[in-house]
């Protein structure tokens, strides 16, 4: 938790409205921590729209926080990390039908065949999908080239991961890439300061609601793996969401610690 007290690399939102940033990975029925049932995505989004929430991209939400202009409406953003193929196949049609622009954070760059290399045993989007996502009004955000624990990298490697990810995606979309998500959610003051040099905002995996007072380079999100059934989905747009997120924060912090140990062990094994 030390990283949250360091203050030299942050830019705090001064005012504006809360922004609920939903975090998804793959859209599948598998039931593991990376999957979310495709059928529930539309339900989750529809529930927020019905309750009067306005859909924005992650950078759109961050811009509202930065400008501090209250809009009189609650905002939400849909984000997907890693660019899994199921997000294109299952998510894109649903979001397009609902008129919701979403943000996909892509790591890596497409190979000669045009596809991103598979990850976690899953196929991923192609350059054509990424281009079409942006052309349809969605946002493409950066998520590094090799998906490392950025806190372990040298200064040169840290900037290279960010700059190359940004330029590779800009080449595909023809649009500026202004948002970033930290791989595994790992960041510290040095990593956040680097992100500020390349992007206008960055997402963490800390469970919470971004809003006035949030660091724009450590935007909290709602991990949707914790909202994988209808009973819990009802909490999303209700008055108890904050209390529920506080309850989840303990176990989430422990699982982040376990994840960090695993990633470090793998990095050491690879030399």
| Pairwise CA distance, residues 118 & 127, whole Å | 14
Contacts of 255 (CB under 8 A, 6+ apart): none
204 in helix, strand or coil?
strand
Rank residues 79 and 214 by Cβ distance to Zn ion and give the closer one: 79
Binding site for Zn ion (CB under 5 A): 81-82, 183
Rank residues 53 and 182 by Cβ distance to Zn ion and give the closer one: 182
Minimum CB distance to Zn ion, residue 183 (Å): 5
Rank residues 96 and 226 by Cβ distance to Zn ion and give the closer one: 226
Minimum CB distance to Zn ion, residue 82 (Å): 4
What values do phi and psi take at 264, rounded to 5?
-65, -40
Helix (H) or strand (E) holding 203: strand 201-207
Of 12, 36, 5, the C-alpha closest to 22 is: 36
Rank residues 17 and 57 by Cβ distance to Zn ion and give the closer one: 57
Torsion angle defined by CA atoms of residues 16, 189, 244 and 24, in that order, rounded to the nearest 10 degrees? 90
Rank residues 183 and 208 by Cβ distance to Zn ion and give the closer one: 183
Rank residues 38 and 183 by Cβ distance to Zn ion and give the closer one: 183
Minimum CB distance to Zn ion, residue 179 (Å): 14
Contact by Cβ (8 Å): 176, 167: no
Minimum CB distance to Zn ion, residue 143 (Å): 6
Minimum CB distance to Zn ion, residue 61 (Å): 19
Contact by Cβ (8 Å): 26, 86: yes
CA-to-CA separations, 260 to 45, 150, 155, 242, 268, in angstroms, rounded:
31, 11, 20, 26, 12
Minimum CB distance to Zn ion, residue 14 (Å): 30
Q: Which residue is nearest to Zn ion (CB)?
A: 81
| Pairwise CA distance, residues 203 & 21, whole Å | 9
């Amino acid at each position: 938790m030390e990283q949250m007290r360091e203050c030299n690399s942050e830019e705090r939102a001064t005012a504006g409205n809360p922004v609920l940033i939903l975090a998804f990975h793959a859209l599948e029925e598998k039931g593991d921590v990376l999957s979310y049932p495709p059928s529930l995505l539309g339900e989750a989004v529809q529930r927020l729209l019905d309750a009067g929430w306005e859909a924005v991209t992650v950078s759109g939400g961050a811009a509202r926080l930065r400008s501090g202009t209250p809009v009189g409406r609650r905002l939400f953003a849909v984000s997907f990390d890693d660019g899994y193929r199921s997000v294109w196949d299952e998510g894109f049609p649903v979001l397009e039908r609902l008129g919701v622009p979403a943000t996909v954070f892509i790591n890596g760059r497409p190979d000669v065949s045009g596809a991103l290399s598979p990850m976690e045993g899953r196929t991923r989007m192609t350059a054509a999908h990424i281009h079409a996502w942006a052309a349809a009004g969605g946002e493409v955000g950066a998520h590094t080239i090799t998906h490392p624990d950025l806190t372990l990298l040298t200064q040169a490697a840290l900037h290279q991961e960010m700059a190359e990810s940004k330029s590779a995606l800009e080449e595909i979309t023809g649009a500026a890439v202004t948002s970033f998500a930290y791989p595994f959610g790992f960041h510290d003051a040095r990593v956040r300061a680097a992100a500020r040099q390349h992007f206008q905002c960055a997402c963490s995996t800390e469970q919470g609601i971004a809003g006035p007072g949030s660091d724009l380079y450590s935007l909290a999100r709602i991990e949707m793996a914790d909202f994988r059934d209808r009973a819990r989905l009802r909490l999303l747009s209700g008055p108890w969401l904050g209390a529920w997120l506080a309850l989840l924060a303990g176990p989430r912090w422990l699982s982040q610690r376990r994840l960090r140990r695993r990633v470090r062990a793998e990095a050491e094994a690879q030399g």
